[in-house]
Amino acid sequence: MDSTPSTRPNTGSDAPKPLKRRGLKRLWHAAGYSLAGLKAGWYEPAFRQEAIASALLLPLACWLGQNWVERSLLVGVVLLVMLVELLNTGIETAIDRIGPEWHSLSKRAKDMGSAAVLLSLLLAFFTWAGALWNRFLT
């Protein structure tokens, strides 16, 4: 068992500061936080829909892409949509935690997150449309 204390000595502040994890311990905990984030994202309908769509699109990307560059682009844009959706959900969650009252900066942050999702979806759509065009119409 690890005999290191879980906190650093108190240096005058009220709350003890946690030790910084290093090496494999840090990676292990970071992976746990990442899985918790994916699990939390699963409960968001938009992320769940995109995850289900990606389960269909990722194998299709391996078939549709004619070389590793095309396959990488098709897979990459699908994963990018999911990534941006998670970031947007994080922004919305942080804004909602601040309070339920309307504020122009809160609206602006949420709108910009939504715009980022829209742009990632458009990039994915046009990348896939280009790959389909290249595969079947040229």
Query: E-strand spans in 22-114?
Result: none
CB contact set of 132 (below 8 Å; sequence gap of 6+) = 64
85 catalytic per annotation: yes
> Of residues 44, 70, 85, 101, which has the active-site annotation?
85
Cα 87 to the center of its chain, rounded Å: 5
Instruction: Name the nearest CA neighbour of 50 among 118, 131, 126.
Output: 118
CA distance 135 to 115: 30
Among all residues, which ones are annotated catalytic? Answer: 85
